[in-house]
Structure 1
Amino acid sequence: MTTDFDHAADVARQYDKDRYLSALLAPEEHRPALMTLYAFSAEIARIRELVSEPLPGEVRLQWWRDLLEGTEHGAVASNPVANALLQTIDRYRLPRQSLVAMTEARVFDLYNDQMPRLNDLEGYAGETVSGVIQLASLILNGGEDPGTATAAGHAGVAYALTGLMRALPWHASRRQIYLPKDVCVRHNLDPESLFKGDTTPELKAVLAEMRGHVRHHLGRVRQVAADVPAACDAAFLPLILVEPFLKKLEAPGFDPLKQTAEISQLRRQWLLWRASGKVFRKL
């Protein structure tokens, strides 16, 4: 019989394969909770793909906020991810406000406004990705504070910024821009050139700076790695893919608006497996 947790695992596998694979490398007792957390993250991240206008997307996000804040929903019983999430919150005493913050940050995804500043982008990454890493660490530590907030903060920013650069062709095709305005202004990048598909020297300069920020945050993760309990290793495991993706993004001849930086599924699985249990030594 398929359970709510089985359904959550299917959602994670379909929409967030790397985190799904990292959860398979975590202790078995915590896998259902990790899969549920990743499924929730994937569900709110893909809302824009499910709606034609922002307002219905905001309604969907409000549904999740109401659920997390305790408002009754008659439809919860028919939403396996929601059911599994509520059980996970109770078992591991997860802070609901962190999950609410994720839904609030995802409102930005529904519109085509440019990210104003680098600090705003890092804040967005902190709410949407660092929060997932911190909650995963809490799950892996049996619901007790693992002291990983700083490491999770930097890891989430590095992982999120890399993902956004990889998704640049897709975002540009729908006039969505996460590259911060202050960074674009610093390098004289006109956002309209992205929407036209023009890979200009100005765009390359912006992306070079963004890769530098990613590596800065990776360095900060390494500095605090000793503070991360071994039990939380799997929460940080997807971070092992960041540097390989960065190398793809900066390879000679790579066009960031016409190509997507990819690593074969087999190699990604191998990288994750090889780093399992020793992720910080492999960064």
Structure 2
Amino acid sequence: MYSTDNPERALVATYAPVERRRALLALLALDDVLAEVPRTTNEPALGQMRLIWWRDALTALDSAAPPAQPVLRAVANDVLRHDVTGAKLGEIPDGWAVLIETEDLDEAAMREYARLRGAVLFDSAGMALGGGDIPLAQAGEGWALADLARNLSVSDAAARAAGLARPLLTQALSRKWPVRLRALGAMAHIARMDLDTGWDRPVALGAPRRVARLGWHRLTGR
């Protein structure tokens, strides 16, 4: 269900506590499947309908059994038992919808997308992993904006997203992360390394220097 084709994301998953790892994998799988909507939809109205379906399906998990959909079943079985609600997760599709509904992706729209996608995902993952005194919303927003920067075709917009991401990631990574949240900290480090590479240049996934940096975070929380 969760793609491990990206060696760094596969590595990061091993940083999560074993007994809660499936929750993190389910949330990442949810984000992956939602990411496919704007990538594969040419008609905005159709994309909006697909995201509304996901929002409603996630919200319904609070009161009904999941349908025969692998990601929803994983969320229901592995995430909601950690006091995360389907209604909260239902905000993540609304974040992706910003990219479909907004013709001019200005700073306000980018921040709204980052809040609904990144902050909600990281806050929910943090709760599922056991919580901690870390600015997860900032880390999540920076992570989402860095990902956006690397996937926008318009250079001005990509540079704007990267500029918004950097201070958020810097502030979030200025703290020592507790062991149970270091998978999320590693995701934030990956986002910052991607930005350091340059939003318009290919990333050398699994390069020794990148893996070493992630390993240092796992050991020290820095």
Quick check: 1:12–1:38 contact (8 Å CA) kept in 2?
no
Q: Which residue of 1 aligns with 2:117?
A: 128
TM-score normalised per structure 2: 0.82
Residues 113 and 89 (structure 1), Cα distance of their counterparts in 2 relative to 1, 3 Å cut:
same
What amino acid is aligned across from residue 168 of structure 2 in structure 1? H
Q: Please list every run of 5 or more consecutive structure 2 residues that lacks an aligned counterpart in the other structure.
A: none
Paired residues for 1:220-259 under 5 Å? 220-222=171-173, 225=175, 229-249=178-198, 259=200
TM-score normalised per structure 1: 0.66
Paired residues for 1:33-48 under 5 Å? 33-48=23-38
The alpha carbon displacement at 1:29 in A equals: 1.3
The alpha carbon displacement at 1:222 in A equals: 4.1
Matched, 1:146 2:136: no
What CA deviation, in whole Å up to 9, does each residue of 1:171-195 have, x standing for no partner?
34xxxx892xxxxxxxxxxxxxxxx
Q: Which residue of 2 aligns with 1:201?
A: none
Residues 134 and 83 (structure 1), Cα distance of their counterparts in 2 relative to 1, 3 Å cut:
same
2-side partners of 1:87 and 1:178: how far apart? 42
2-side partners of 1:230 and 1:103: how far apart? 29
The alpha carbon displacement at 1:44 in A equals: 0.7
Quick check: 2:173–2:188 contact (8 Å CA) kept in 1?
no
Q: Aligned pairs, how many?
A: 220
Residues 18 and 101 (structure 1), Cα distance of their counterparts in 2 relative to 1, 3 Å cut:
farther
Query: Residue 59 of structure 1: SS of its match in structure 2?
Result: helix
What CA deviation, in whole Å up to 9, does each residue of 1:28-50 have, x standing for no partner?
11111111110001111111233
The alpha carbon displacement at 1:218 in A equals: 2.8
Q: Calculate the aligned-residue CA RMSD, in Å.
A: 3.0
The alpha carbon displacement at 1:106 in A equals: 1.2
The alpha carbon displacement at 1:261 in A equals: 3.5
Quick check: 2:95–2:115 contact (8 Å CA) kept in 1?
no
Q: Please list every run of 5 or more consecutive structure 1 residues that lacks an aligned counterpart in the other structure.
A: 1-7, 180-205, 250-255
Matched, 1:261 2:202: yes
Query: Residue 90 of structure 2: SS of its match in structure 1?
Result: helix
Q: Which residue of 2 aligns with 1:183?
A: none
Q: Which residue of 2 aligns with 1:58?
A: 48
What amino acid is aligned across from residue 131 of structure 1 in structure 2? V
Residues 52 and 157 (structure 1), Cα distance of their counterparts in 2 relative to 1, 3 Å cut:
same
* Larger Rg over CA atoms: 1
What amino acid is aligned across from residue 166 of structure 2 in structure 1? R
1-side partners of 2:7 and 2:98: how far apart? 23
Quick check: 2:80–2:86 contact (8 Å CA) kept in 1?
no
Paired residues for 1:181-192 under 5 Å? none
